[in-house]
């Protein structure tokens, strides 16, 4: 599974998405090179990342979080 969330406390809203599926390492050098060229592939926290994981989703769910 993989989950990603975003909360904007100042606006009292956000969202959450959950993906369930089979994960596998991406080991093909050509595919790794292609992934590294995609927009957003550079970690915002800095530093290098040598591991790529692909998730083939079986289920996707999510929700929006809003102020009452």
Cβ atoms within 10 A of the Cβ of 65, count? 13
Domains and CATH numbers, the chain: 2-65 (2.30.110.10)
Structure tokens, 22: 């089979």
Structure tokens, 27: 């080991």
pLDDT in tens, 12-68: 999 999 999 999 999 999 999 999 999 988 888 878 778 999 999 999 999 999 987
| Whether this model's pTM surpasses 0.75 | no
């Amino acid at each position: 599974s993989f989950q990603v969330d975003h909360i904007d406390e100042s606006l009292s809203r956000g969202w959450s998405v959950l993906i369930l599926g089979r994960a596998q390492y991406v080991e093909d050098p050509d595919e790794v090179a292609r992934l590294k060229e995609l927009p957003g592939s550079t970690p915002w926290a800095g530093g290098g990342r040598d591991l790529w994981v692909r998730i083939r989703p079986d289920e996707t769910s999510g929700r929006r979080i809003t102020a009452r």
